[in-house]
Amino acid sequence: MFGDAKDKALKKLRKDMRSGLYSFLVLTILEREGELHGYAIRKKLEEFSDGRLVPSEGALYDILKSLKKYKLVDNFWAEVGGRPRKYYRLTELGREVLAELKGEIGEIMLILKRMEGLE
Amino acid sequence: MFGDAKDKALKKLRKDMRSGLYSFLVLTILEREGELHGYAIRKKLEEFSDGRLVPSEGALYDILKSLKKYKLVDNFWAEVGGRPRKYYRLTELGREVLAELKGEIGEIMLILKRMEGLE
DNA sequence: AACTATACCTCGAAGTCCGATGTATGGAGG
DNA sequence: CCTCCATACATCGGACTTCGAGGTATAGTT
């Protein structure tokens, strides 16, 4: 019926809904998995979300940069198989912030359910 | 302990998580309530979300502009109490898109629960 | 020799949210 | 009467984000 316009609108709104969660997801993955490099973080996100909540590579590096700026993650270089790899890990601050965010995500989900009348 | 840095980080991440939902929420409110003007949309969002998921005024007008661009809402002027009011309403396309988004929000919530290990 | 996957990164385009600011009306309280 | 507040609309600049495209490089597979 609306074809093209509908696809464009859905693409945009889907993107918006996902993108606000990326920082949270990266922190969550690092908490579960410990130390990972960028590429591996993306693979883990694919695995855990069935490919639904995965930022593009460019976006992921921007997100990691931002998380580092806020001191929620830090990074170190390690030689693996003779090549340098950039590893990221949660800071203590990151762990604290993540704990609070989990609670808030729960609250947001409740509000959404109430609004949609999903229950 | 971390005080300032923690507040800044939380503020940023909270904002990111909320902001992706705004378009969806505005569409949902318009579906429930019919025709509303900008100010009233904000009031309704405050009411339904206990003040948790409410964009600033400036942001709301940008959102409405964007939704109009994607033809998910349209608007008309009406005289109320002798003064012109700009009313917004869902288009047929908006209704279709909203229906699909509801399903996706459900899926995202499931993924989040699985990741957090909340269940 | 070509390709794919792994792994890192930068850049520009387009868009977003917010805070500040501006305009204007109606009603309540002093 | 006059000031303040809630209502109601809107724009602007700043800071930031995501993405897609492109670039660099190595290791293993076909």
pLDDT by residue for chain A (119 residues), tens only, comes to 667 889 999 999 999 999 999 999 999 999 999 999 999 999 999 999 999 999 999 999 999 999 999 999 999 999 887 788 999 999 999 999 999 999 999 999 999 988 876 43
- Spatial neighbors of B66 by CB under 8 A, at least 6 apart, are B23
Specify the pLDDT at position A1. 62
pLDDT along chain B (119 residues), means of 10: 84 95 96 94 94 95 96 92 89 96 92 74
Condensed to tens digits (0 to 9), the pLDDT of residues B40-68 reads 999 999 999 999 999 999 999 999 999 99
Do B53 and A108 lie within an 8 Å CB cutoff? yes
Non-local (6+) Cβ contacts of B65 within 8 A are: none
| Candidate from A17, A22, A96 with C-beta closest to B108 | A17
- Contacting B residues, span 65-94, partner chain A, CB-CB under 8 Å: 70-72, 92-93
Residue ranges of the domains in chain B? 4-116
* H or E segment to which residue A85 belongs: strand A83-90
- Residue A24 sits at the chain B interface (C-beta within 8 Å): yes
Question: pLDDT at position B1, please?
Answer: 61
By the 8 A CB rule, do A38 and A62 touch?
no
Residue B4: the pLDDT is 84
Q: CB of B40 under 7 A from strand D?
A: yes
What is the second-level CATH architecture of the domain A4-116? Answer: Orthogonal Bundle (1.10)
pLDDT of A82: 79
Q: Which of A48, A97, A112 sits opposite B6 (nearest CB)?
A: A97
pLDDT for res A80: 83
Instruction: Count CB neighbours of B63 within 10 A.
Output: 21
Among chain A residues 51 through 70, which have CB within 7 angstroms of nucleic chain D? 55-59, 62-63, 66
Contact B25, B45 (CB under 8 A): yes
Q: What share of chain A is helix, strand, coil (3-state, %, to 5)?
A: 65, 15, 20
